[in-house]
Structure 1
Amino acid sequence: MSSATKKIVKEVEIVIKGGVKLDENRVRSQMSTRVGQPFTDESMERDMRSLYGTGAIESINSHTVDVAGGVKVVVEIVGRGGIAEIQFIGNTAIDKDKLKKEIAVKVGDPLDESKLAAAQQKIIDLYEKKGYADASGSYEIMPSAREGYSTVIFKIDEGARGIIRDILFEGNTAIKSRVLRGKLKSQEHHLWNLWGKKGKLNHNDVQEDIKIIEMAFKDKGFVYAKVTERRVVPVSANKIDLVYVISEGAKYDVSAVKITGNTIFTKEALEAGVKAEPGFPYMGSHIEADKKMIHDYYGSRGYADAQVEAHITETGAGQVAVAYTIVEGTKSYINKVNISGNSFTKDEVIRRELPFAPGEELNTVKIEAGKNRLQNLNYFSAVDTQNTPTTAPGYKDVNVTVTEQSTGTVNFGAGFSSIDSITAFIQVTQTNFDISDWKDFRGGGQRFNTNIRAGALRRDVTISWTEPWFMGRELAFTVEGFFHNLYYLSNFFNQTNVGASAGIRKRLGEHSYFETTYTLQQIKIGSIASGASPLIAQEAGSYIQSKIDMNFVNDTRDSVFITRSGHKLEAGALLSGLGGNVPVVGANIGGQQYFNLPGDTILSFEGMFRIVNSWDSKRVPIFERQFLGGANNLRGFAYRHAGPKDATGEPIGGLTSFYASTEFSVPVHITSNVDKSPRVVFFGDIGSIAGATGATSGNGMIFSDAGIGLRLFLPVGPIRVDYAVPIDKDNRSGSGRVQFNMGYKF
């Protein structure tokens, strides 16, 4: 390669040689050599290492040609031949057809080392799910009879199978075995663990569990607590008991805390975030949190190489001093951000999730946040970030390596609720959709979903598409087409909605967002029963609705599944009638608040106020009125029956509504996993609807109930069962009601 140091790159020519086709744009994305930048031998060498690292390159030759004002860089590349055959050796528990189907490597694919490594790990994962915790494997690349192609041989050592019957502890006195068992990743095998890794011995989980056990004791002041032995005790041909032997040691309090080695930042600035305090019990999690806090303090200011060590010294009977020692390192900036491992996902989809860019301080907190955002996309089975030095002093490259996974799913299932009875559904989803790629329709970071649902009391079809970065901005744009045929709303009429909507959602900070949706739909009220009152009969007909919904949400809940703390607050508005024949305005405000109390009990409050009215002389149609009653608000009443009714007892809805609920949730520890343990809830609901025209009962009345419920978390999904007894009611309400639902209440 000729030397052209300090000359400006005027052109970069990529020449693909051989019979293997490569994507020129993909090649360029792996290179730092760019038109308009100075050319250096060092940068070209880094580019060659980066290209070889993709696993798709057999050989590279580069040279420069002097041109007016600089140099032309010519890169000649020969791609690696594809895969002619895939073989498996040593597999008896899983047949080769199953393995071929599960791995992402296929015959005809380019030979890519990173994909082969991912396929090898996938094979190990499959064995671990079946309980073969000792399974190991490797792969070998052999020449094929087909010239320019290779045979890939996966070699598997299955090891022995281990299904966990019980998890036992020895030597623990400060923490009960039941409590320890509930903290572990490993779990006992149950009848419902037929699939997946749960209930099967996994050595990675065991190593994590040892750390969890030791930290549990250290958090209670046992500084030197250790798991001294881990035994696997066979109890049958396939089943084992897992035994942890624990040495607790003595319990300590903190006598002193100090920080040394800091010269760039003041001790006062660092101490402000330290959790360990003199005079309080020693807590291992506080020590780890302090180390991370100090490391992040430096790392968020460009000192990516800063190191923090914690030294524990006994200072007397039951007393220890904690000393944090810092090695600060030097400040760094970002030179380049390199993306690799993405065969389908576009580079721009990955880069837009990264909150850092070349030229900025190398902020390790932002890098970790970017890694988490990529993992949360669920496009990748693994995401790795590394900082590597460059030849430029004070600058580092950030290398982001991803391993892609399947993002398309087809789900079949059934559900049941006391509102709409039993329903079956088919759902097709692609979470990494690309509407512009008519070959594969994936890699663009969009979401496509089709849902068909049918049951005794409803028929639904919805098709939706979401672009999360509309117009290149962090702005989610969604379009949806829908058909809803709803029989469960009333015994006296059916309602059908057909239409489409388009909406925008904008995130506002970490916990808030604003969204607005425009909907154009036709609504038909038909099949009026012969015994319906005039109030119901007058609703028959076809309506065209053109409406805009706006909503602001602030959501700090720690989880949408089992919420223990935080809140969700929302406020919204509705404007209908700018076109069509439904002139309605409305508003709502409400929220939820959760408190985690001792014993992992949860106290929650929920409430909502809604108002709707017509902005001309027309009545508000029944599909826009307010209703209460059912599994989601006043549980002691039938669906929509806690409010105004006509002479036949049929709900007719009103113009204003409010409801409030409180729940106290208590776990029942019959499983080791606290998030899978059943919960008993005690609750009370209250609400009222007013503004009904022609109602003979219930208008403006207070309705209330109290009851008890059960929450089950099964592999088929969560189940909510509530029994509530009405307290304040009208003369048409019953004496008690069971509400049943499958799914989470968002």
Structure 2
Amino acid sequence: MIHGVLSSPQNALRPFLVAALFSLTPLGSQAQVSLDSPAAVGRKIVREVDVVFTGPATMDPARVRAQMSTREGEPYTDESVERDLRSLYATGAVENVDINAVNVAGGVKVIVTISGRGGIAELGFLGNAAFDNAKLAKEIEIKVGDPVDDTKLVAAQQKILELYTKKGFSDVLVTYDVSPSAKEGFSTVLFKIEEGGRGLIGDIRFEGNTAISDRKLRAELTSKEKTFWRLWGKAGKLDNQAVLDDVRKIEQAYQDIGYVYVRVGYRREESGSDKVALVFEITEGGKYDVASVTIQGITIFSQEELTPAILTEAGRPYSGSDVRGDEKMIQDYYGSRGYADARVETRLSDAGPGLLNVTYSVYEGGKSFIRKVNISGNMKTQDEVIRRELPMSPGDELNTVQLETAQTRLENLNYFEGKGEANPLTVRPVSTEVDGFKDIEVNVTEKSTGSVNFGAGFSSIDSIVGFIDVTQTNFDISDWGDFRGAGQRFNMNIRYGPRRQDFNLSWTEPWFLGQKLAFTVEMFYRNMFYLSQADRYEQTNAGMALSLRKPVGEHSYFETTYTLQNINLDVNDDEDPTNIIRNEEGDFLQSKFDFGFVHDTRDSVFITRKGHKFEVGLMASGLGGDVEVWGGNIGGQQFFSLPGDTILSFEGMARIADGWGNSGNANGDVPIFERLFLGGANNLRGYDFREAGPKDDSGEPIGGNVSMYASIEYSFPIIEKVRGAVFYDVGYISTDVTAAGGRDARGVKNGGPIVGDGEVYSNIGVGLRMFLPIGPIRLDLGLPLVKDDFTGDSPRFQFNMGYKF
């Protein structure tokens, strides 16, 4: 597989479509204020926000405005001015800021005067031996001429740290200095690097553990020993932060079985060359049970309301996870009812040998309501795109659980920097001068949301395929300058190979008509040679589709799609097709509706360990056009997480297709492009694509009207990023196509008798699941247990790249 990625190269995308998009990553900004006459200005409406620079402009004016809560159309207040002052100074890109409010007709004009810190005249590195200057300069994405911005410098410092840590330099220290340059008004930035030694983990040992075995403790750790199969990322490389995290994980494992006062330390021992032994030193202490559980300080709610949800119980071993769960439950109980300042402290007291009293002390605080929701940092993304993801509004009770929900929803958009990044997204309450009211501050730092992907792939179904994919997940179809910021999704996909040529263009509005209703428009052209095993025909689909998807609760959605397409079936006379295939030839105009319901609780679409996916659907074609068929399907998947990170999964699906009206073809009512097939990488893996089912007497699959299949798979870890699997698949298809034997008057095969009609096919097999940087790869070797005149009994090798949704 050859694969390349370009992220958000704005100019590079324009040649692909007028709808080219992409993203200069915006930075967060913040500012400071002085007022002509605050008392006189009062609550007047802001009519204009003007940004003025004294000296060179060191920030984009749009970026300045994005960081400010003082915005056009909003009331002008002292509180918003103070927030803007702190915000703009926090960027590190300004030396001084003044904010002046001037009376104008109908309100005030706000003038923001900024004195910047100048630009970078020189950029250097000191102390780096493992990486050259060019590599570091490319990594940090800062260049000469950029404004001096502490936010970007800290982010660059972190990128250098991560680069060294991935190489095993666990003790690296990175600092930077900003000093005046010989060029007046500019600065010199110098990154100083103390690399330290490079450490690879040769061995991990435990000392002092008797209650938990080495094997169980090792399974808890992020740190891993360096082995030949750990080739990617940080695996096997010493990372001080990961070691500290491992110390906490070991302590937590002990506390969860009653060892409250366990102490864990660690040391490093040289083990030759550049490898070290990592030794965890454990002092277990005594094991404790819970003698009593008490909640103190509650006056607003009763003991009876809170006690049933308490996990910690008298007479059972102490569990740190249960105690943390109880603290979270009590705080959420209060926080979800407006008491955002409620806090819980846990006290442990001796109750005799091996016994502890657990006391939860609650500080209730006062009830709060939401006064305003302030959004800052969104230079491109429209306020409405953010606000519609927030489950709260001004005037509501302040619900801390909803704040967590808002945080998660905004992170899931993937438009903004998240946890662990330099400027993470935050949703938090802040105090106001009005008793009983708080403001909600949403601060974001935008990141690139456009990409161009290109490369080549291979599967056992459609052979080798080259592709190019252009995507913008924060698209704005109405902004013909930048095409970004409205939260829409745009995608253009081109695939080209010897057995398929596809072009697909789609646009999605996730909040159609102001509701949580996704509306998608798709245009497509698909030329599919791979549908026929012996190239006896090719199928071309060209048309458009309109779809609506409506979420129902947290895990379900309804979807309906209307498709209008022209389907051309071209028969290849050189391959001596039978009359069954010849009768399918022609041009068809299809107008069809698909209706579906999906309930999906899977924990991940990448490596699914638990949960299920259930789906049911109906299809009706013939309300216009000349293809009159209907169909339906029901099925799903179920996953179980078993000990040792093994996974047991079941999958099954039943489908039906039948004709109605008077537009049947010469073979029956259902044309071949709506018939049902089995075989290949996605169902019966012991057979070639479409091979497990009815075939004419030349071996060409002709499909059927009713199909069912089921699969059971057990997967297990082998080495890092590689899993093994064993599986069993079974299925059958029946058809109403009939044909006489021999040849007709023209000497063409009639195509009968039909082979495999109603036959139950099954296979067993083994597989590998590899999760590589270039993408997931699935390799399966299936052995057919049932054969017919054409399938044979030799094993089939199935290769595919990508996730199965």
Normalization by structure 2: what TM-score? 0.83
Q: Which residue of 1 aligns with 2:15?
A: none
1:398 correspondence with 2:448: no
Alignment-mate amino acid for residue 246 of structure 2: D
Alignment deviations for residues 130-163 of structure 1 (CA, whole Å, 9 cap, x no partner):
2223333334444456665544443333333223
Provide structure 1 residue ranges, at least 5 long, that are not aligned to the other structure: none
Q: Which residue of 2 aligns with 1:224?
A: 261
Alignment deviations for residues 380-415 of structure 1 (CA, whole Å, 9 cap, x no partner):
243233433222222233333334433344444444
1:508 correspondence with 2:552: yes
- Measured at CA, do residues 443 and 11 of structure 1 come closer, stay the same or move farther in structure 2, by a change above 3 Å? closer
Q: Which residue of 1 aligns with 2:612?
A: 567
1:15 correspondence with 2:65: no
Q: For structure 1, which segment, 94-103 or 618-627, has the greater mean C-alpha deviation from structure 2 after superposition?
A: 94-103
SS of the residue corresponding to residue 15 of structure 1 reads strand
SS of the residue corresponding to residue 577 of structure 1 reads strand
1:238 correspondence with 2:288: no
Alignment-mate amino acid for residue 95 of structure 1: D
Alignment deviations for residues 177-226 of structure 1 (CA, whole Å, 9 cap, x no partner):
33333332223335565553333222222222211122222233333333
Distance 1:238 1:441 in 2: 50
Alignment-mate amino acid for residue 296 of structure 1: D
Q: Which residue of 1 aligns with 2:18?
A: none
- Structure 2 contact 589–625 (Cα < 8 Å) conserved: yes
- Measured at CA, do residues 434 and 179 of structure 1 come closer, stay the same or move farther in structure 2, by a change above 3 Å? farther
Match of 2:710 among 660, 663, 667: 660
Q: Which residue of 1 aligns with 2:520?
A: 478
- Structure 1 contact 638–737 (Cα < 8 Å) conserved: no
- Structure 2 contact 67–88 (Cα < 8 Å) conserved: no
SS of the residue corresponding to residue 399 of structure 1 reads strand
Distance 2:160 2:514 in 1: 38
- Measured at CA, do residues 484 and 274 of structure 1 come closer, stay the same or move farther in structure 2, by a change above 3 Å? same
- Measured at CA, do residues 691 and 93 of structure 1 come closer, stay the same or move farther in structure 2, by a change above 3 Å? same
Task: Give 1:591 shift.
Answer: 1.2
Alignment deviations for residues 637-665 of structure 1 (CA, whole Å, 9 cap, x no partner):
332122222122221111222222223x2
Alignment-mate amino acid for residue 733 of structure 2: S
Task: Give 1:733 shift.
Answer: 3.5
Alignment deviations for residues 421-477 of structure 1 (CA, whole Å, 9 cap, x no partner):
344434343333444445544444333333333445333333333333334433323
Alignment deviations for residues 267-313 of structure 1 (CA, whole Å, 9 cap, x no partner):
22212222222333333222222211112112222222222222334
- Structure 1 contact 506–513 (Cα < 8 Å) conserved: yes
SS of the residue corresponding to residue 351 of structure 2 reads strand
Q: Which residue of 2 aligns with 1:738?
A: 796
Q: For structure 1, which segment, 288-297 or 431-440, has the greater mean C-alpha deviation from structure 2 after superposition?
A: 431-440
Q: Which residue of 1 aligns with 2:310?
A: 274
Alignment deviations for residues 354-397 of structure 1 (CA, whole Å, 9 cap, x no partner):
32333322222121222222222333243233433222222233
Q: Which residue of 2 aligns with 1:635?
A: 685
Alignment-mate amino acid for residue 803 of structure 2: Y
Task: Give 1:511 shift.
Answer: 0.4
Q: Which residue of 2 aligns with 1:526?
A: 570
- Structure 1 contact 416–422 (Cα < 8 Å) conserved: yes
- Measured at CA, do residues 407 and 173 of structure 1 come closer, stay the same or move farther in structure 2, by a change above 3 Å? farther
Distance 2:382 2:270 in 1: 49
Q: Which structure's relative contact order is higher, taking Cα pairs within 8 Å and 6+ residues apart? A: 2
- Structure 1 contact 118–403 (Cα < 8 Å) conserved: no
Q: Which residue of 1 aligns with 2:660?
A: 615
Task: Give 1:343 shift.
Answer: 4.1
- Measured at CA, do residues 303 and 461 of structure 1 come closer, stay the same or move farther in structure 2, by a change above 3 Å? same
- Measured at CA, do residues 376 and 10 of structure 1 come closer, stay the same or move farther in structure 2, by a change above 3 Å? closer
Match of 2:65 among 22, 27, 36: 27
Match of 1:117 among 117, 132, 154: 154
- Structure 2 contact 119–187 (Cα < 8 Å) conserved: yes
Distance 2:224 2:409 in 1: 29
- Measured at CA, do residues 175 and 407 of structure 1 come closer, stay the same or move farther in structure 2, by a change above 3 Å? farther
Distance 2:376 2:189 in 1: 22
SS of the residue corresponding to residue 4 of structure 1 reads helix
Alignment-mate amino acid for residue 518 of structure 1: Y
* Mapping of residues 448-597 of structure 1, within 5 Å: 448-490=490-532, 491=534, 492-528=536-572, 529-597=574-642
SS of the residue corresponding to residue 501 of structure 1 reads strand
Q: How many residues align?
A: 738
- Structure 1 contact 8–35 (Cα < 8 Å) conserved: no
- Structure 2 contact 67–84 (Cα < 8 Å) conserved: no
- Measured at CA, do residues 61 and 562 of structure 1 come closer, stay the same or move farther in structure 2, by a change above 3 Å? closer
Distance 2:344 2:434 in 1: 26
Alignment-mate amino acid for residue 799 of structure 2: N
1:158 correspondence with 2:203: no
- Measured at CA, do residues 361 and 154 of structure 1 come closer, stay the same or move farther in structure 2, by a change above 3 Å? farther
- Structure 1 contact 416–740 (Cα < 8 Å) conserved: no
Distance 1:478 1:337 in 2: 30
* Mapping of residues 73-472 of structure 1, within 5 Å: 74-78=110-114, 80=116, 83-85=119-121, 87-90=123-126, 91-144=128-181, 149-191=186-228, 194-227=231-264, 229-379=265-415, 380=417, 381=421, 382-472=424-514
SS of the residue corresponding to residue 678 of structure 1 reads strand
- Structure 1 contact 308–325 (Cα < 8 Å) conserved: yes
Task: Give 1:627 shift.
Answer: 0.8
Q: Which residue of 1 aligns with 2:743?
A: none
Distance 2:133 2:512 in 1: 43
- Measured at CA, do residues 30 and 301 of structure 1 come closer, stay the same or move farther in structure 2, by a change above 3 Å? same
Distance 1:34 1:391 in 2: 23
- Structure 1 contact 543–582 (Cα < 8 Å) conserved: yes
RMSD between aligned alpha carbons?
3.2
Normalization by structure 1: what TM-score? 0.90
Task: Give 1:599 shift.
Answer: 4.4
- Structure 1 contact 130–200 (Cα < 8 Å) conserved: yes
- Structure 1 contact 558–565 (Cα < 8 Å) conserved: yes
Distance 2:640 2:434 in 1: 52
Alignment-mate amino acid for residue 429 of structure 2: N
Provide structure 2 residue ranges, at least 5 long, that are not aligned to the other structure: 1-34, 740-751
Task: Give 1:553 shift.
Answer: 0.8
Distance 1:624 1:278 in 2: 63
Q: Which residue of 2 aligns with 1:4?
A: 39
- Measured at CA, do residues 189 and 501 of structure 1 come closer, stay the same or move farther in structure 2, by a change above 3 Å? farther
Alignment-mate amino acid for residue 639 of structure 1: F
- Structure 1 contact 30–338 (Cα < 8 Å) conserved: no
Q: For structure 1, which segment, 421-430 or 25-34, has the greater mean C-alpha deviation from structure 2 after superposition?
A: 25-34
1:709 correspondence with 2:766: yes
SS of the residue corresponding to residue 272 of structure 1 reads helix
- Structure 1 contact 626–689 (Cα < 8 Å) conserved: no
- Structure 1 contact 697–730 (Cα < 8 Å) conserved: no
Identity of aligned residues (%): 51
Alignment-mate amino acid for residue 568 of structure 1: K
Task: Give 1:73 shift.
Answer: 5.3
- Measured at CA, do residues 410 and 565 of structure 1 come closer, stay the same or move farther in structure 2, by a change above 3 Å? same
Distance 1:477 1:412 in 2: 27
Task: Give 1:509 shift.
Answer: 1.5
